[in-house]
């Protein structure tokens, strides 16, 4: 099936053979359709939570999609005859056993074993808890993965239609009460945006727990700089199927500019109108922006946002967060009047690297209406960030093709300052001897001695110690650690959509390239992803700019900036400041009297 021809997008899609099921380490079990009862009190993982009730498990249930493709799911449900709502987990990672479930179990990242039963699949809810509270959980292998038929697809409307069909199939089952929800982390969250936009009649709610909405702008082509290492080496390399897989890397090489193919991989957020429980994290290197944007753009009137300070795999397993989600599902899948609507529409974590975070601060909207815009000008004369535009023109210079070269600008903060919202660098830039520039920037804080201050996104003392031991040049592994927001831009892709852009949130079109003449100085908008960062009095706020990633360090299996990402950089980069060159950082600052 060529999904994009089917959608009349006019783009031929390139496929490659899927990684075979017999690949060493794939661990994909054969189909074994069977119904069993998992007994109350039985244990299914070392040190795991005993089952709280009897659970009926229907293994390898066949589901036929509209084009005749057969996919397979496992259904966990209470053993009573009562009809129950169902939570759909749609996964490319394997509904049972497999590489992901073996190697990335949540307990490996600090979740106490007794908080989980072992029935849960990677990045998903635990059926043991939900069955005990009167829900079914259906875990379904996406098209083209494991034993499910068809070709593996990446995001897009076609994948949303597959989920639409599955939602409606579940709603028709005699044991189902007619209402279906979705939940899950990362890829399991991303697919919820595309599914909900198809508006399956029986989809009653979604719970996307950190998920991009735009593959091009947030994953493989952020800022116009192609980066496919995470997609190809850390995700696609460990997905297995019997047929073909959509070849995103080759598609990006063939179609480096925005076209119908990439547009199809941006979720149609305005078409989503179901109740939504949305979780985001400042620390995630690819999920942060899209998750927050989705909260703003979906049409749902019943939507809530919680911004966590923890790794997503830890956060989704936390018993308190699970209970919070159950109140939401109880309201919209069971119709229980439990005052869920009184829950604050937004609950923020304010990160204080090196200190103590503020958790679940109640807010009424995102971005915060009370933010105040502060402009800090770059001054290379003394390497500072100044509240006043320097009168004299000056130049900050670094070697764009030197992985050790960068420029920094600092400001010592004289009172506690909360930065919450979207940040942007407005820069005047010049390539001394090249026709393009790839710019990378990060904003972070240091102590008074200049040491970077870290946020570690796990609770376990053992995991914290392990993450801190991985510090490289003052930076921690992306996803596990966080110092502050980052951004990137290929200068030839600087063209903006004037209707969607604001001073703090420039929106790049990516429809063409404007190469430079060597020595030509141009203004650019380099967006940094949103954050909530508390800078204490006496600490230093730092802006670092380079021709290579300067934020957190990428380590498998987490996404993050590839330190070896190919760039177009050659020779010196110049940033012009002062006088007619108003290079500056735009910051959203929350007034001290209104920080909750």
* Residue recorded with tokens 């749902």: 300
Tally Cβ neighbours within 10 Å of residue 503. 12
Cα(485)–Cα(423) distance, integer angstroms: 8
Tell me what pLDDT residue 245 has. Answer: 98
Q: What residues have CB less than 8 Å from 155, skipping those under 6 apart?
A: 190, 191, 194, 215, 264, 265, 267
pLDDT tens digits for range 503-533: 999 999 999 999 999 889 999 999 999 999 9
The answer to whether 127 and 55 are in contact (CB under 8 A) is yes
Confidence of residue 556 (pLDDT cuts 50, 70, 90): confident
pLDDT tens digits for range 52-98: 999 999 999 999 999 999 999 999 999 999 999 999 999 999 999 99
pLDDT tens digits for range 433-471: 999 999 999 999 999 999 999 999 998 899 999 999 999
Confidence of residue 420 (pLDDT cuts 50, 70, 90): very high
Tell me what pLDDT residue 451 has. Answer: 96
Q: What residues have CB less than 8 Å from 572, skipping those under 6 apart?
A: 397, 398, 399, 400, 431, 432, 433
| Percentage of residues of the chain with pLDDT beyond 90 | 94
Terminal-to-terminal C-alpha distance of the chain: 53
Confidence of residue 595 (pLDDT cuts 50, 70, 90): confident
The answer to whether 231 and 220 are in contact (CB under 8 A) is yes
The two tokens of residue 209 are 């727990």
Tell me what pLDDT residue 3 has. Answer: 75
| Domains by residue range for the chain, with CATH | 3-343 (3.40.50.1820), 372-594 (2.60.120.260)
pLDDT tens digits for range 403-416: 999 999 999 999 99
pLDDT tens digits for range 282-340: 999 999 999 999 999 999 999 999 999 999 999 999 999 999 999 999 999 999 999 99
Tell me what pLDDT residue 276 has. Answer: 99
Cα(393)–Cα(381) distance, integer angstroms: 9
The answer to whether 530 and 423 are in contact (CB under 8 A) is yes
Residue 571, pLDDT > 80, answer yes
From the list 233, 158, 202, 200, the residue with the least C-alpha distance to 8 is: 158
Largest CA distance in the chain: 79
Confidence of residue 593 (pLDDT cuts 50, 70, 90): confident
Confidence of residue 1 (pLDDT cuts 50, 70, 90): low
Tell me what pLDDT residue 66 has. Answer: 97
Residue 418, pLDDT > 80, answer yes
From the list 481, 482, 449, the residue with the least C-alpha distance to 465 is: 481
- The b-or-e profile of 560-573 (16+ CB within 10 A means b, else e) is bbbeebebbbbebb
State the chain's mean pLDDT as an integer. 96
* Residue recorded with tokens 């209470």: 78
Cα(322)–Cα(328) distance, integer angstroms: 10
| For range 187-193, the mean pLDDT | 98
Residue 124, pLDDT > 80, answer yes
Confidence of residue 5 (pLDDT cuts 50, 70, 90): confident
């Amino acid at each position: 099936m060529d999904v994009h021809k089917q959608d009349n997008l006019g783009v031929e899609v390139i496929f490659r053979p899927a990684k075979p099921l017999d690949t060493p380490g794939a661990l994909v079990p054969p189909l074994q359709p069977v119904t069993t009862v998992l007994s109350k009190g039985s244990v299914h993982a070392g040190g795991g939570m005993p089952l709280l009730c009897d659970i009926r498990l229907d293994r390898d249930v066949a589901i036929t999609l509209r084009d005749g493709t057969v996919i397979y799911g496992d259904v966990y449900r209470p053993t009573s005859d009562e009809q129950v709502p169902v939570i759909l987990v749609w996964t490319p990672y394997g509904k049972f056993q497999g590489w992901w479930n073996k190697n990335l179990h949540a307990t490996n990242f600090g979740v106490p074993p007794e908080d989980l039963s072992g029935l849960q699949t990677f990045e998903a809810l635990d059926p043991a808890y939900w069955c005990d509270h009167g829900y079914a959980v259906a875990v379904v292998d996406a098209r083209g993965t494991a034993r499910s038929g068809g070709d593996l697809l990446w995001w897009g409307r076609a994948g949303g239609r597959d989920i639409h069909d599955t939602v409606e199939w579940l709603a028709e089952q005699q044991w189902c009460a007619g209402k279906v929800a979705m939940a899950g982390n990362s890829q399991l969250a991303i697919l919820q945006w595309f599914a909900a936009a198809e508006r399956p009649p029986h989809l009653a709610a979604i719970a996307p727990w950190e998920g991009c909405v735009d593959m091009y702008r947030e994953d493989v082509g952020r800022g116009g700089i192609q980066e496919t290492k995470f997609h190809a080496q850390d995700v696609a390399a460990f997905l297995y199927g019997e047929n073909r897989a959509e070849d995103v890397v080759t598609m990006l090489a063939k179609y480096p500019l925005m076209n119908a193919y990439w547009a199809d991989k941006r979720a149609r957020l305005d078409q989503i109108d179901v109740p939504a429980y949305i979780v985001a994290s400042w620390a995630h290197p690819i999920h942060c922006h899209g998750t927050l944007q989705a909260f703003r753009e979906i049409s749902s009137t019943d939507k809530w946002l919680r911004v966590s300070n923890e790794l997503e795999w830890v956060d989704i397993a936390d018993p308190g967060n699970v209970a919070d989600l159950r109140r939401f599902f109880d309201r919209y899948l069971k119709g229980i009047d439990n005052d869920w609507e009184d829950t604050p529409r937004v609950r923020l974590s304010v990160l204080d690297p090196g200190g103590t975070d503020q958790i679940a601060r109640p807010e009424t909207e995102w971005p915060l209406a009370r933010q105040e815009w502060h402009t800090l000008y770059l001054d290379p004369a003394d390497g500072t960030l100044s509240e006043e535009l320097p009168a004299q023109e000056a130049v900050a210079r670094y070697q764009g093709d030197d992985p050790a070269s960068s420029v920094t600008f600092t400001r010592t903060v004289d009172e506690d300052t909360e930065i919450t919202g979207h940040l942007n660098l407005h820069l005047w830039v010049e390539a001394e001897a090249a026709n393009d520039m790839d710019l990378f920037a990060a904003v972070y804080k240091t102590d008074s001695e200049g040491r970077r201050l870290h946020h570690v996104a796990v609770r376990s003392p053992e995991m914290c110690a392990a993450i801190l031991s991985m510090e490289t040049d003052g930076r921690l592994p992306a996803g596990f650690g966080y110092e502050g927001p980052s951004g990137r831009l290929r200068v030839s892709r600087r063209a903006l959509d004037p209707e969607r852009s604001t001073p703090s949130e420039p929106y790049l079109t990516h429809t063409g390239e404007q190469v430079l003449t060597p020595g030509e100085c141009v203004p650019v908008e380099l967006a940094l992803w949103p954050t909530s960062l508390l800078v204490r009095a006496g600490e230093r706020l730092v802006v670092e700019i380079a021709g290579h990633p300067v934020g957190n360090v990428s380590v498998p299996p987490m996404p993050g900036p590839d330190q070896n990402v190919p760039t177009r950089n050659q020779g010196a980069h110049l940033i012009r400041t002062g006088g007619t060159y108003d290079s500056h950082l735009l910051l959203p600052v929350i007034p001290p009297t209104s920080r909750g």
